[in-house]
Amino acid sequence: MNGSVMVIGGGIAGIQTTLDLTELGFKVYLIEKEPSIGGRMAQFDKLFPSNDCSLCVLAPKMVAVYRNPDIELLTLSEVQKVTGNLGDFTVSIRKMPRYVDETICKGCGDCSAKCPKIEVPNLFDMNLGKRKSAYIPFPQATPPVYLIDPELCLFLKRQVCGVCKKVCQAGAIDFEQEPSEIELNVGAIVVSTGFEMLGDELSSKWGYQFKNVVNALEYERIISSSGPFGGHILRPSDEQEPRKIAFISCIMSEEAAPYCSRVCCMYTTKNAVNTKISSENSEITVFRHNIRVFGRNFYEYTKNAQEDYEIEFIHSLISKIEEDQETNDLIIHYDDLKTAESKTFRANLVVLSAPLVPSKGTKNLASILEIELNKHNFFKERSYFNNSLSSRDGIFLSGLCKGPMNISETVVNASGVAGQIATLLLSAKYTQIKERDIDLLPKESIIDINPTALIIGGGVSGMTVALNISKQGFETYIVEKKNSLGGILNNIYQISPTQQKA
């Protein structure tokens, strides 16, 4: 039984699972195909319903991963092959060159400052901004190390230039780096590859081919203070401030993605509110079909948007979006479901709440790991009550790789995955982590701890907790005020259609 775990994907789900696993006594290899961990959450401006700064919440966790001696972070890396079983997996990984020595680079940025101004769209800014050949994805990137794009670098392509190497006082530039093959032995594998937001696949009905129609993730970068426009809300076509902005929810929910993405109503409202805060004179209209808000304080958040920020919500169905070729404004044709009339609306900028879909490479990774996908091409859960386990023993699913959920749900799920792995690899705890020469408490203050737990409530949650911690060696007691366990499930069973008489 091996006491190390491999986590594939360094977004918030992968980060949380990784940190929790190290707290539970396991070494973790965190594999990320991008130059930095952080995932989609690093691109967000604010979080709902608190409106907290997204990176203010995420960045400390990223730093904690980078500084933890029991976490080996492998960026620009992808899994190539997996063999073995629970407790003893062998994994082959291909790591692409950064052309910058990670152990030497100080993150000063001299290489990028002197790099010739040959620029390409910045993927982190959803192609709305530009970057050079020598770059760092975003200021809080982890590891805080620059990299060189071999497709753009003049030296790597034609052996000319090389100015970055000349100005790097640390001597970190290494044009001789090549792809490397790494083999790891781990006890369990966690998939946390996240999601994409539908973009180019959007049908012409939604006007995504027009410059001033963007999806919600692109708008996150527009409104962000660290985004391509420095937090100023500007139209992509002419970089002018839009006065009338339309948000459209439930895009293609019955076409390319026939399921509810669960977060669209809330992030649409969040972006509308933050637009109004940033630009008080803007006129914000939300075209919505149905509102599906289910979390704590979520409904109140949407009501406050309408009452406190004077954001208009129109119950409607969109028929098409056209562009005024002279002004690049958008004309929205819609049916008002309240008045039963067909109307038009002119907007300077349109933001589409596109559905969340599986991340690119999901099918390929599923083939490598030999695990199943569900009918929507997310990774398939073992069962409704064991939704952290994939179809293959020892391979777990964390976060949005198995379907849409919000950030708070993702963090809870990620921690649950870590706990489930800990129960299965219990005998291998502390076998792979580094020893610490730190005396956290004086010996005289240490007392014997009785490994006993009391669970109040015998419903699904209580029973699940009791089972998991009992596997950790705790003597467990459940207190339930009724005469049987099961909680609400007993009532659900009793009223199910199969139990009712005709």
Q: What is the CATH number of the domain that holds 366?
A: 3.50.50.60
Check whether 434 has a pLDDT greater than 80. Answer: no
Same domain, 72 and 183: yes
CA distances from 498 to 385, 484, 486, 491 (A): 21, 22, 19, 13
First to last CA, the chain: 54
Task: Output 380 or 491, whichever has higher pLDDT.
Answer: 380
Contacts of 290 (CB under 8 A, 6+ apart): 250
What Å distances lie between residue 78 and 37, 83, 95, 417, CA to CA? 13, 15, 7, 21
Q: Is the peptide bond before 143 cis (omega within 30 degrees of 0)?
A: yes
How many other C-beta atoms are found inside a 10 Å radius of the C-beta of residue 346?
Answer: 12
* pLDDT average, residue stretch 260-289: 95
> Which of 196, 351, 331 is closest to 275 using CA atoms?
351
Residue 296: predicted pLDDT: 86
pLDDT of residue 7: 99
The tokens for 236 are: 């992509």
- Residue 38 is assigned to a structural domain of this protein: yes
Instruction: Mean pLDDT check: name the lowest of 71-85, 369-383, 399-413, 439-453.
Output: 439-453
pLDDT at 462: 84
Within-domain flag for 437: no
Q: Which of 336, 355, 374 is the last residue of a domain?
A: 355
Whether residue 438 lies inside any domain: the answer is: no
Sign, CA dihedral 335-338-344-345, equals: negative
Nearest to 290 by CA among 316, 266, 267: 316
Question: Does 494 score more than 70 pLDDT?
Answer: no
Domain extent for 34: 4-95+179-194+359-428
Cite the beta strand spans of 274-311 per DSSP E. Answer: 283-288
Judge contact between 77 and 32, C-beta under 8 A: yes
39 shares its domain with 84: yes
Give the start-end residues of each E strand in 303-446.
312-323, 330-336, 341-347, 349-352, 356-358, 395-397
Taking the model in full, what pTM does it have? 0.89
Tokens of 302: 């949407």
**For residues 463 and 485, is the Cβ–Cβ distance under 8 A?**
yes
Same domain, 265 and 298: yes
Which of 331, 355, 379 marks a domain boundary?
Answer: 355
d(CA 485, CA 462): 9
Nearest alpha-carbon partner for 30 in 398, 393, 372, 380: 398
| Percent of the chain surpassing pLDDT 90 | 78
Measured between alpha carbons, how far is residue 350 from residues 261, 271, 429 in Å? 20, 12, 52
100, part of any domain? no
- Same domain membership, residue 142 and residue 220: no
> Is residue 187 domain-shared with residue 211, that is, in the same domain?
no
Report the pLDDT value the prediction gives residue 205, as an integer from 0 to 100.
Answer: 87
Contact 431, 454 (CB under 8 A): no
Q: Which residue has the higher pLDDT, 212 or 204?
A: 212
The reply to whether 90 and 190 lie within a common domain is yes
Predicted local confidence at residue 436, as pLDDT: 61
pLDDT score at 264 = 94
Q: Which two tokens stand for residue 417?
A: 């995955």
- How many domains in the chain? 4
Distance in angstroms (rounded) separating the CA atoms of residues 396 and 389:
4
Judgement on whether residues 208 and 328 belong to the same structural domain of the protein: yes
Given a cut of 50, whether residue 195 has pLDDT beyond it is yes
Note the pLDDT of residue 160.
Answer: 93
For helices 298-307 and 264-278, the axis angle rounded to 10 degrees is 40
Strands 312-323 and 330-336, how do they pair? antiparallel
Residue where one domain finishes, among candidates 370, 396, 428: 428
Distances (CA, A) of 395 to 7, 88, 391: 10, 11, 8
* 216-256 per-position pLDDT tens digit: 999 999 999 999 999 999 999 999 999 999 999 988 776 77
Tell me the three-class secondary structure of 129-154, residue by residue. Answer: CEECCEECCCCCCCCCCCEECCCCCH
Q: Are residues 268 and 334 in the same domain?
A: yes
The SS3 assignment for 418 reads helix
Beta strand 4-8 with 188-191: parallel, antiparallel or unpaired? parallel
Residue 320, in any domain of the structure: yes
Burial bucket for residue 284 (CB in 10 Å: 0-12, 13-18, 19+): buried
- Answer yes or no: is pLDDT of 143 > 70: yes
In a domain, 272, yes or no: yes
Per-residue tokens: 27: 């070494």
Cis ω before 49 (30° cut-off from 0): yes
Same domain as 230, residue 340? yes
pLDDT interval class at 200 (50, 70, 90): confident
Residue 283 to residues 159, 311, 353, Cα–Cα distance (Å): 53, 8, 18
Question: Does 439 score more than 60 pLDDT?
Answer: no
Query: Measured between alpha carbons, how far is 152 from 149 in angstroms, rounded to an integer?
Result: 5
Same domain assignment for residues 423 and 472 = no
Q: What is the pLDDT of residue 498?
A: 45
Q: Is residue 174 part of a domain?
A: no
Alpha helices in 315-459 (DSSP H): 362-369, 407-424
Q: What is the pLDDT of residue 430?
A: 83
Q: Are residues 20 and 133 in the same domain?
A: no
Query: What residue has token string 């002419």?
Result: 238
Whether residues 204 and 315 share a domain: the answer is: yes
Q: Please tell me the distance from the alpha carbon of residue 327 to that of residue 219, in angstroms, as a whole number.
A: 20
CA distances to 41, 150, 225, 239, 412 from 139, rounded to whole Å, are 14, 21, 12, 23, 27
What is the per-residue pLDDT for 502? 39
Q: Give pLDDT tens digits for 345-368.
A: 999 999 999 999 999 999 999 999
Q: What is the pLDDT of residues 385-421, one digit of tens each?
A: 788 999 999 999 999 999 999 999 999 999 999 999 9
Residue 64 lies in a domain: yes
Query: In Å, how far from its chain's centre is CA 472?
Result: 30
Q: What number is the average pLDDT over the span 288-301?
A: 88
Higher model confidence: residue 404 or residue 439? 404
Average pLDDT, stretch 360-384? 96
Q: Which of 227, 230, 223 is nearest to 247 (CA)?
A: 223
**Averaged pLDDT of the chain:** 92
C-alpha 244/C-alpha 49 separation (Å) is: 24
Rounded CA Rg of the chain: 25
How far is it, in rounded angstroms, from Cα 257 to Cα 251?
A: 9
